Structure 1
Amino acid sequence: MMTLSGSLSILMGVSGVAQDTLFSTSSQYAYWFDLTTWGVIHLAVGVVLIVTGLGVLADKSWGRGAGAAAAAISLITQFMFVPHYPAWAIPMMTLDLLILFTLTRFPIETSSGR
């Protein structure tokens, strides 16, 4: 799920950097950035999500903690992006919440069975 969320964030970032007409802009928003800045933010978060998702898949010790942190950062950035494209940001926030739930809910099993 993290690699999917990361890939989708990268696609959103590319659209923002390319100054696509997909997004609406309003200067009356508290977290206002230009679309290029939002594109770079989404690109960076997407790359981090993919890297941590691969870490979780490879069962690395840092994968779950870094993945939970990356999903939380993605959730916050998607929340801040809601005024620009709510039809995209709200499902992505749901996906990030599912990632957070999955990574933090279930206990970590070790090879010794504890």
Structure 2
Amino acid sequence: MATATHHRSRGSEAAAGGLVTFAAVLLFVAGILDLFRGIMAIADDDVYVSTPNYIFKFDLTSWGWIQLVLGVVAMGVSAGLFSRALWARVVGVAIAALLIVANFLSIPYYPVWSLVLIALYAFVIWALCVVRE
């Protein structure tokens, strides 16, 4: 009776590498978008919609610094993803999850942008979790 060994085909290895690269590019682009969004909030709060009765109310300048820092971290993690580092996949899922929460909390201030970034970060999480390297 032969033992079952799992060998990866070249096609499946290429697909796995492609998904990690896809996640790295998406995380980098979404990180840049969050970086710019943070700069917008720090520089000029008039860009954002004012919502007086929102339960999760934040000072927009502080919120801008949070977005800016998370965007920079996301861009840094994407560099690790390009090198196929396991730590980068783990941190990439964590930072994408944090950014989903951050964008959820900022939906009343910038609704369409927040929803687009939530979708991008969800794709990042999916791409990093589906690959088994």
With normalisation by structure 1, the TM-score equals 0.91
CA positional deviation for 1:19: 2.0
Higher relative contact order (CA 8 A, sep 6+): 2
Q: Does the 8 Å CA contact 1:19/1:35 hold for their aligned counterparts?
A: no
Give the structure with the higher percent helix. Answer: 2
> Percent identity between the aligned chains?
29
Supply the AA of the counterpart residue of 2:59. D
State whether structure 2 residue 75 is matched by structure 1 residue 50. yes
Take 1:101 and 1:61, find their aligned partners in 2: how far apart are those partners?
Answer: 15
Aligned-partner residue type, residue 65 of structure 1 = V
Q: Secondary structure at the match of 1:62?
A: helix
Q: How many residues align?
A: 108
| Contact in 2 for aligned 1:78/1:93 (Cα 8 Å) | yes
Q: How far 1:103 sits from its partner (Å)?
A: 0.5
Match of 1:15 in 2: 40
Greater shift after overlay, 52-61 or 88-97? 52-61
Distance in structure 2 (CA, Å) of the matches to 1:21 and 1:27: 14
TM-score, normalising length: structure 2 = 0.78
What amino acid sits opposite 1:63 in the alignment? A
Pairing 1:2-41 to 2, within 5 Å after superposition: 2-41=27-66
Mind listing any 5+ residue stretches in structure 2 that lack a counterpart? 1-25
Kindly name which structure, 1 or 2, has the bigger radius of gyration based on alpha carbons: 2
Q: Is residue 45–residue 61 contact of structure 2 (8 Å, CA) maintained in 1?
A: no
Moved over 3 A (4+): none
Query: Which amino acid in 2 is paired with 1:66?
Result: V
